[in-house]
Structure 1
Amino acid sequence: MENEKPQKTYSDLDIVSHVSDTLNVPHDQTHRKLKGRHIQLIGIGGTIGTALFVQIGAALTEGGPGSLFLGFTIWCSFILAINNCLSEMVTWIPIASPFVRFADRFVDPALGFCAGINFFVFEAALVPFEVVAFNLVLQFWTDAIPIAAVIAVGLAVVVLLNLFAVGWYGESEFWLAVGKVVLAVGLMTFTFITMIGGNPLRDTYGFRNWDPSKVPGAPFAEHIKTGSLGRFLGFLTCLIQAAFTIAGPDYVSMTAGEAELPRRTLPRAFNSVFYRLTTFFVLGSLCVGIVVPYSDPNLRQALSDARPGAGSSPYVIAMERLNIPVLPHIVNALIMTSIFSAGNSYVYCASRTLFGLALQGKMPRVLARCTKNGVPIYSVAVTLAVALLSFLQVSNNAAVVLQWFVNLVTASQLLNYAIISFTYLKFYYALKEQGIDRDILPHRSFWQPFCGYYAFIGTFVMAFVSGWTVFLPGNWDIPTFLFSYAMLGLAPVLFIFWKVCRRSSWQRSEDTTFFEKEREEVDLYEDTHIPEPPSGVFAKVADFLFV
């Protein structure tokens, strides 16, 4: 007994050998360093950016406050359905790049390849989007700094944060996301205080901007056409804006492979993300329609002129009307941090998607190599290479470049959600076919499989509707069409390519496997891992507030 080797523990947080050596596929060498508070704020921080504070004003002018509020509320129900689908799968099988690998295992390897490329394009395209937006926000104060210099510095800082250990990324994203929460809550508080008369003009405006007798056409504005059709088109525009703006569950799921004690932290994160996002987006859309009328000439002029930074934000327009001089600068500064935080998250998610594809052998093996700190360095490098597209702004109008990226990522995001929903339905019926009771799962979601069908139908249809304005008479524009529908056309090509070249098989429910080896590794890790106590006062307080 004296010579018996001590039992190996997993207190080093490494989960290795996700794929068997016999398959000659690289191991997952990432580290489980993300705590529960990191994951919860990543889920919020990755989705709150310029769309909620600035671009939402464009949807307000086209649909009115009623359509804006209704569109955001309805779309949140789809996000709830997607959240239910992801939470059930990811908490049971917390692996790197989960929903991409789930599509591979539960549906067809060809769909996994298609889903991975689509999600990578989606996340990678959002990086230059946020970099371009960052430059616009900076121009709120000055345009003396060369555009190329701003872009280069912004990308350099993102590089540094994503090349250190994942704990650095989690900590930086946590505090940046806290700033976003402060901004969102602050603007809601601003709305409430000013609407009841707490402003320099002593104007108790309440819901005046919803009153059709005070603002003709409110609360449901006509867009393009008149009458009921015009009001419907206004609502549709707001719904598309909501589809671009609201997300969350996918960002939480991408942390699964690097989450500390995932079976404990992920269920709490999934349970809380939807309600927090609903608070920010539903109440946020309500506040926007309260503070400024949809027909406000200053708002329309600011949008048409592409006024930089917070200058075209409905909140800033309201602050200027109410003679509040300091707040616009504070809002602009916080928007700047929110943009940087979003870009930081997009680099993380895009690089982990490439990493997951490499683990499956669907991308070059070199992309699965990690540094000693568990960072997939080559995947990060490829993502940042795509981010160089932000230099398009040097030779094009920033508003035009932003709209290109908006069109591209809206279709990709909707397609991604449709794939997630369909994958869950295959997962659900595979469990049922094999007699596996869902009560054994760490987290059993409600209203299933209804949520899977609801999310799949809604997101699939909206993916084709999102670029509808390009087909209107006189609106045809080739770049807009390509950016709106490129991924919808590319997705079946990717699927067929992998299907033909690799002769992949459609997975039958009775033959589906559920990552048994990976789940055993997670079980062993959670049984042996002892969490490190938080160091420092701020970390202790944060852990207490976001348990």
Structure 2
Amino acid sequence: MTVSDVNTPPAYNHDAEKDSKSTPSNLTQEDHLGQQTLYGDATHRMLKGRHIQLIGIGGTIGTVLFVQIGKGLMQGGPGSLFIAFSFWCLIVLTITMCIAEMVSYTPISSPFTRFAGFYIDEALGFAAGWNFFIFEAALVPFEVTACHFILQFWTDAIPVGATIAVIIVLYALINLMAIKYFGETEFWAAIGKVILIVGLIFFTFIVMVGGNPQREAFGFTYWKSPGAFAELYYEGSLGKFVGFMGCLIQAAFSIAGPDYVAMAAGEAENPRKVLPRAFKTVFYRLTFFFVLGSLCVGILVPYDDPQMIAAFRDGKAGAAASPYVIAMDRLGIKVLPHIVNAMILVSAFSAGNSYVFCATRSLYGLALEGKAPKFLSICTKTGVPIYCVACVLVIALLSFLQLSNSSAVVLSWFVSLVTASQLINFSVICLTYLRFYRAMKVQGFDRSVLPYRAWFMPYAAYIGLVATFIMTFVGGYTVFLPGMWDVPNFLFSYTSVGLFPVLYVGWKIVHKTKIRKATEIDLRQNLAGIEEYERNYVPQPPANWFEKILHFLFG
């Protein structure tokens, strides 16, 4: 049997997977019929292409692009910031291509963590799944408290506990409803983010050519004075290189996207048509936003701006530390900072909502594979893994640690401990793809008929693997500089790096798993239900002119 047998993208009948069993694959290409997961996937395919595209954008664009990017500007200057973000977008492209080819071929729930078990080793799937879950779940309380911090831009009168409670309740309501309602919520929230960043890009161009109350056409003045490259810790070329590394580290921990698109694969409508387009458009749009965003802040504010330095040093609330708001204040523009802060609030809320979704689906994927308690695989009639949502919301209650100053420090530490997890995820994706690619080649599968075929493979996957692996260890390099050793910072940077092999080795020892040979990999695993869905899928045309516009814009 060849891939050409599944060339026409069908849809997913989850009933076809129920009560099926997952067994180690030692079947040949001729006799295997497509194995299934341990428990049946009961989620519903109700997410349209526009939902998935905006989920990918919404989960990636948070406060970093509007506020925290200022830290990178201070460390490396505008030139280093722009180069670092542009370079890392190329690395994300390699990761996007890897995950897009695999997920478009087998669009299942929590795909890339489960693929690690399918194509390499069940122990790696266990480690990757829990690593991603812990990472996403830890970000939920962080974004919840960030929302209150942003509100303090206007007033300190709102009780912290009240803000946290309201946001968690909203997350519960959104994520316990049918997936289509989550998709609509995230779609419109992410649209707000897109409007904000596009608006700020236009704002930058207008004010830099003189369209501001001061009538000052400052252009690229700050690239000349104080300069394009800042020195960090050291003087001269070494200091500028260290500054660039600071920007590159921020880019590596900030730019994502393909993983969030992939997490929606199991609930995507007509996935083999929708997902290839979603992966492409999300990457190109995020690259546009991050690259131009990094350029804009370097145009608007010098890297040694005293107001920006003071804002980060003093922990100013909300948009007060945003380079955009600082530029608006300097130019005498009074109203826009409040609009920016409001949209940053929406960004933080939306990012937290995406983290709840991704954490829920990653835990659900673990349950489907028998790597988490079985009851977590139970879904409501509307296809929501209710107990997984409940577990994530319980973790969100850690937000209440913010009520105590000492506890707030603990919360910050908890989030910092998992910062390297995203890069570990990316490394696993690239490594998994290399095994997938090898299995395709050895078993004689024709990649040209896949729903999405990545180019420059397997070399692009090797580039992505090497880059993400190196950055995983480089992230905390400052603790090794002379006189800068700090135990907490060392633990923040490398705890998740140490935890991952513990998870892998532990599961491997207990369950005696083996690394699969390329000839043993079942490339048709979980395809039966997908093919059945595609055979039965009937596309629904846009019902009105508004839906026609959305379909034209997002497919």
**TM-score with structure 2 setting the length:** 0.93
Alignment-derived partner of residue 521 in structure 1:
529
Alignment-derived partner of residue 298 in structure 2:
289
Alignment-derived partner of residue 123 in structure 1:
136
Give the whole-Å Cα distance in 1 for the aligned partners of 2:459 and 2:439: 16
Q: 1:317 aligns with which of 326, 329, 335?
A: 326
**Distance apart, 1:522 and its partner CA:** 1.2
Asked if residue 326 in structure 1 is aligned to residue 335 in structure 2, the reply is yes
**Which letter does structure 2 place at the counterpart of 1:164?**
M
Q: 1:393 aligns with which of 390, 398, 402?
A: 402
| Aligned residues: CA RMSD | 1.9
Alignment-derived partner of residue 441 in structure 2:
432
Alpha-carbon spacing, 1:72–1:140, altered in 2? closer, same or farther (3 Å): same
Q: 2:491 aligns with which of 475, 482, 501?
A: 482
Alpha-carbon spacing, 1:323–1:394, altered in 2? closer, same or farther (3 Å): same
**Distance apart, 1:369 and its partner CA:** 0.4
Alpha-carbon spacing, 1:364–1:399, altered in 2? closer, same or farther (3 Å): closer
**Superimposed CA distance per residue, residues 437-480 of structure 1 (whole angstroms, 9 cap, x where no aligned partner):** 11121111111001110010100110111122233455444433
**Distance apart, 1:13 and its partner CA:** 6.4
Any unmatched runs of 5+ in structure 1?
1-10
**Which letter does structure 2 place at the counterpart of 1:514?**
L
Alignment-derived partner of residue 34 in structure 2:
none
User: Does the aligned pair in 1 maintain the 2:419–2:492 contact within 8 Å?
Assistant: no
Give the whole-Å Cα distance in 2 for the aligned partners of 1:286 and 1:354: 38
Give the whole-Å Cα distance in 1 for the aligned partners of 2:150 and 2:476: 26
Alpha-carbon spacing, 1:397–1:297, altered in 2? closer, same or farther (3 Å): farther
Asked if residue 299 in structure 1 is aligned to residue 313 in structure 2, the reply is no
**Which letter does structure 2 place at the counterpart of 1:28?**
D
Give the whole-Å Cα distance in 1 for the aligned partners of 2:166 and 2:368: 32
**Distance apart, 1:392 and its partner CA:** 2.6
**Superimposed CA distance per residue, residues 166-225 of structure 1 (whole angstroms, 9 cap, x where no aligned partner):** 0010010000000000000000000000000000000100000100xx32xx21100011
User: Does the aligned pair in 2 maintain the 1:404–1:480 contact within 8 Å?
Assistant: no
Matches within 5 A, 1:18-97: 18=17, 20-22=19-21, 25-97=38-110
Give the whole-Å Cα distance in 2 for the aligned partners of 1:275 and 1:12: 26
Alignment-derived partner of residue 156 in structure 2:
143
Alignment-derived partner of residue 512 in structure 1:
521
Alignment-derived partner of residue 344 in structure 2:
335
Give the whole-Å Cα distance in 2 for the aligned partners of 1:55 and 1:279: 18
Give the length in aligned residue pairs: 533
**Superimposed CA distance per residue, residues 506-546 of structure 1 (whole angstroms, 9 cap, x where no aligned partner):** 10001110234x22321221221123344565444322211
**Secondary structure at 2:419 match in 1:** helix
Moved more, 196-205 or 218-227: 218-227
Alignment-derived partner of residue 209 in structure 1:
222
User: Does the aligned pair in 2 maintain the 1:37–1:546 contact within 8 Å?
Assistant: yes
**Distance apart, 1:273 and its partner CA:** 1.3
Give the whole-Å Cα distance in 2 for the aligned partners of 1:537 and 1:146: 44
**Distance apart, 1:414 and its partner CA:** 0.3
Alpha-carbon spacing, 1:434–1:289, altered in 2? closer, same or farther (3 Å): same
Alignment-derived partner of residue 478 in structure 2:
469
Alpha-carbon spacing, 1:359–1:463, altered in 2? closer, same or farther (3 Å): same
Q: 2:552 aligns with which of 532, 544, 547?
A: 544
User: Does the aligned pair in 2 maintain the 1:49–1:335 contact within 8 Å?
Assistant: yes
User: Does the aligned pair in 1 maintain the 2:110–2:364 contact within 8 Å?
Assistant: yes
Give the whole-Å Cα distance in 2 for the aligned partners of 1:501 and 1:164: 38
Alpha-carbon spacing, 1:475–1:129, altered in 2? closer, same or farther (3 Å): farther
**Superimposed CA distance per residue, residues 311-338 of structure 1 (whole angstroms, 9 cap, x where no aligned partner):** 0000000000000000000000001111
Alignment-derived partner of residue 532 in structure 1:
540
User: Does the aligned pair in 2 maintain the 1:248–1:274 contact within 8 Å?
Assistant: yes
Alpha-carbon spacing, 1:12–1:119, altered in 2? closer, same or farther (3 Å): closer
Q: 1:238 aligns with which of 229, 240, 247?
A: 247
Alignment-derived partner of residue 102 in structure 1:
115
Give the whole-Å Cα distance in 2 for the aligned partners of 1:531 and 1:192: 42
Moved more, 126-135 or 528-537: 528-537
User: Does the aligned pair in 2 maintain the 1:107–1:506 contact within 8 Å?
Assistant: yes
Give the whole-Å Cα distance in 2 for the aligned partners of 1:398 and 1:183: 33
Alpha-carbon spacing, 1:460–1:381, altered in 2? closer, same or farther (3 Å): same
Any unmatched runs of 5+ in structure 2?
1-9, 23-36
